[in-house]
A = this chain, B = another copy of it.
Amino acid sequence: MDKQDKLMIIPLGGLGEIGKNLTVFRFGDDIVVLDCGLAFPDEDMLGIDLVIPDMTYLIDNKDKIRAVVLTHGHEDHIGSLFYLLRHADVPVYGSRLTLGLVEGRLKENNVTDRKLVPVAAGDIIKAGRFEIGFIRVNHSIADALGIYFRTPVGVVVHTGDFKIDQTPVDGQIIDIHKFAELGNQGVLVLLSDSTNAERPGYTKSEFTVSEALDERFAAAKGRIILTTFASNVSRLQQAINAGCKYGRKVAVLGRSMVNVVTKAIDLGYMSIPEGVLIDIDEINRYPANRILILTTGSQGEPMAALSRLAHGSHRNVELNPGDTVVISATPIPGNERSVGRIIDGLLRLGVEVIYEKSSGIHVSGHASQEELKLILNLVRPKYLIPVHGEFRMLKNHGKIAEGVGIPRENIFFGENGHVFEFTAETGRFAGKVPAGQVFVDGAGIGDVGNIVIRDRRQLSQEGVMIVVLALDKQRGIVVSGPDIVSRGFIYMRDSEELIRDARRVVKEVLERGENKPITEWAPLKSSIRESLGKYLFGKTGRKPVILPIIIDL
């Protein structure tokens, strides 16, 4: 069988991680890209703003890309599209809300004039030899889609991020009939969301949040401040509904929240009765119990509005005892401490804070184990690739699949860059393509690599000590210095003696026979680093970065 008759599925992001989802589908010379997201940096990626997938493979094959298809509008699914579209002018298909959010991101990155094609659940498009269909799913953002591909070797289904919400707030239940129909017709491969594969049972319906909010809103005496992910339009709608019920005006605080609410109202995904929405500057005109503020910062982001409110440092809004803050979100792993600090800050202000999972004011947007089983049983795929999760989540998803009868050897655990190759009958691992992470730092994409990060790490731990010498090149002798400057090592004003001694150590190096006259700089610099490093470690137990700089005259 010819290579041309095989389907290749290549995840370039989203395996072994929750972030920067990007999956490539290739049949012969036709490539379709599903999602194109970013990740937020780990704590050890110092100074990095964002992380995007390595797209070398796509850029090398850009003439073959027929389409990008998007499942939904979260950053981890759309956030690196600007970069792909800079290199490849290909049409992008997504739901209206998704494209609305994409437009904003592209504009911020000066990518314009690209072909954005709105699709709706039930639509079918053609892209090379792929026929691509869109399926309504439930998730923590409106207008989320699953996507299936009819290919010459069979049907592939990708769930996107999903949950099965039997009572969604917008009435738009996941199209379980379509999944059933595809399953009946026969599905070769399923790619399915593994985020909550460690969680037993069912994820609760978004609707259950309404009751919990209603109870809290009924009891609140002062202002109510509610925070959630800006993109969770259904959650915001529920908060607005509860606010309206108790006669509160609604103000929106925080740039990203304002953006999303504006976009969602424009596109008809959110409705606010006439006269309810007020400007944040107007809130003081109303009694406290007539105000609901929707705001950003549910993950403890230090620059977001909620953090400023908790520290009493917001320009326009001040919280008072008797106000209620509702944190309608769960901290993403790694954010627990910063969220905890914000809660503590709010409590110190005398504010009531509703934050516990058990309080019912938040539900997940991802399918738990029973939902994963249901999708597996509906779709009945021959092969499963668990996607969208840390490795342990993928493995858990695999166990669940074995439990409903998928043979172990038909479940593929991959890493980003792995190529999975399918014929109508077979599936196998078939090598690797370049994959990895590319750092975005300020305006630079990919120019900060491991060496720069390693330097930042060293600097961050013990700071830097700079030793400057001026050298008379002809005579090979030092005519000025050593001068010493340090940052992040010790407080220089309190350490005159140490600095003086450090200078003495460098002078001793210069006095050594082998350094008179000075002909080679490299060995001199390393002697300085070594002697000074030893001295400083002995005195302080620390190892700053030592930078000898020699000026020649």
Contact = CB atoms under 8 A, between A and B. Distances in A.
Interface stretch (A28-36, A205-213, A388-396): A388-396
A500 to B, nearest CB: 16
A333 B340 CA distance: 9
A489 interface: yes
Interface in A535-553: 537, 539-542, 545, 547, 549, 551-553
Contacts of A462: 47, 441-442
B356 A198 contact: yes
B347 A337 contact: no
A42 interface: yes
A46 interface: yes
Nearest to A538: B443
A462 B47 CA distance: 6
A479 B553 contact: yes
A466 B467 CA distance: 11
Contact of A460 (B447, B459, B539): B459
A346 to B, nearest CB: 9
Interface residues of A, number: 70
Nearest to A395: B347
A553 B551 CA distance: 12
A525 to B, nearest CB: 11
Contacts of A43: 43, 337
A449 interface: yes
A481 interface: yes
Interface in A56-93: none
A522 interface: no
Given A46-B460, A344-B392, 14 more contacts: A47-B463, A47-B542, A198-B356, A334-B334, A340-B392, A441-B462, A441-B541, A447-B490, A459-B463, A464-B464, A470-B480, A480-B552, A480-B553, A551-B551
Interface of A: 16, 42-43, 46-47, 198, 200, 333-334, 336-337, 340, 343-344, 347-348, 353, 355-356, 358, 390-392, 395, 441-444, 447-449, 451-453, 455-464, 466, 468, 470, 479-481, 483, 485, 487-491, 494-495, 537, 539-542, 545, 547, 549, 551-553
